[in-house]
Amino acid sequence: MRIPSTTSSPKRGSPAGRRLPGFTLVELLVVIGIIALLAAMLLPALGKARYRASQVNEMSGARQLLIAWNLYAEDHSDAVLPGYRYGLPATDFQGRPVNHPINARYPWRIAPYLGKSFDVMYLNENRRTLEAFRRMEDPDLGIYAASVFPSQGINSVFVGGDDLELPPTDRAFERFGRFCVLKTAEVGRPSDLMVFTSARGPFEGRIVPGYYVVRPPYLNARRWAVEWNPDDGPEAWGNVHPRYNLRAVTGMVDGHVENLDRRRLQDMRLWANPADRPDWTLRALQNP
């Protein structure tokens, strides 16, 4: 007697007998090509979105700086925030005095008017620089470093005074006229006089997007390079950094913020209260 087998070959056409569908090599290559094409189309848009977000973020930070700058003036009988001045008191967040040159720079003076936070001053990619300062083993070194590289530099020579460049003394005023604003009431065109603008400076062999002061294109003569070149050192354009499509985020005395292009950044009427032409110099105000 023959015992029937318990197994049998699958019938043709049954699910077990069919090969599972799959991609051929050509199909996979086509799919990969489509993905690469879509990525190439989307990446520029994503890059522009990130770029725009960075610009908007710095504009917001500049507005907050200007609010703090005006609050400082209200608390100091209309005196503007010192640009770079020697011998004035400043303290860290624990109330301890900070010494020269830390107290000469603006960040530790304006920080109390920003909720004792440096996050408004260090924006976008510059935030990594601030975090590096916060991680320093020596807190005093971190306090020093944090005073050097805020995203926005102050127009110190003509707003608040700069003891390193040209101290705003009575003698200097006698020689050059009232070139420097020391009281907000002295400003003739609040909407056209800059206080802060995008800056960059050298740090540990590289260039970072931040510095505490910006220098004007003219003083007694032209000092900037004629054309902006990102490969030049920061001093070629007075530490000003037109990082947004060759524009710099700039905050004015009246509290509004603009994106100034390369041409307008070189207009001395936006730098100095008495300037009456784009290439104005202090020499024009000297007594005969």
Residue range(s) defining the domain that contains residue 129? 26-285
Phi first, then psi: what are they for 75, rounded to 5°?
-80, -10
Cα–Cα separations (whole angstroms), residue 245 to 29, 57, 108, 228, 251: 37, 15, 30, 12, 18
pLDDT for res 286: 47
pLDDT for res 235: 96
* DSSP 8-state code for residue 102: G
Distance CA 84, CA 90 (A): 12
- Which residues, 6+ apart, have CB-to-CB distance to 271 below 8 Å? 155, 157, 158, 193, 194, 216, 217, 218
Distance CA 231, CA 119 (A): 28
The verdict on residue 191 lying in a domain is yes
Could you list the pLDDT tens digit for every one of the 288 residues in the chain?
454 554 445 555 545 555 556 667 777 777 787 887 776 776 666 556 677 899 999 999 999 999 999 999 999 999 999 999 999 999 998 899 999 999 999 999 999 999 988 999 999 999 999 999 999 999 899 999 999 999 999 999 999 999 999 999 999 999 999 999 999 999 999 999 999 999 999 998 899 999 999 999 999 999 999 999 999 999 999 999 999 999 999 999 999 999 999 999 999 999 999 999 999 999 755 454
Q: 10 Å Cβ neighbour count for 19?
A: 5
The verdict on residue 10 lying in a domain is no
Distance CA 6, CA 106 (A): 91
The verdict on residue 139 lying in a domain is yes
Question: Per the structure block, which two tokens stand in for 40?
Answer: 């190439």
> Residue 225 is inside which H or E element, if any?
none
pLDDT for res 288: 44
CB of 200 closer than 8 Å to CB of 209? yes
CB of 250 closer than 8 Å to CB of 260? yes
> Residue 74 is inside which H or E element, if any?
helix 25-75
Three-state SS for 161-187 is CECCCECCCHHHHHHHCCCCECEHHHC
pLDDT for res 24: 79
* 37-59: burial string, b at 16+ Cβ within 10 Å, e else: eeeeeeeeeeeeeeeeebbeebb
Angle at CA 244, nearest 5°, toward 213 and 61? 55
The verdict on residue 3 lying in a domain is no
> Per the omega criterion (within 30 degrees of 0), is the bond before 209 cis?
no
The verdict on residue 58 lying in a domain is yes
CB of 140 closer than 8 Å to CB of 146? no
pLDDT for res 47: 58
Looking up tokens 């802060």 gives 196
- Which residues, 6+ apart, have CB-to-CB distance to 103 below 8 Å? 88, 89, 90, 97, 109
Question: Per the structure block, which two tokens stand in for 129?
Answer: 């620089």
Distance CA 228, CA 9 (A): 80
pLDDT for res 41: 72
- What length does the chain have? 288
The verdict on residue 12 lying in a domain is no
The verdict on residue 177 lying in a domain is yes
Count of structural domains within the chain: 1
Looking up tokens 């010494």 gives 99
The verdict on residue 6 lying in a domain is no
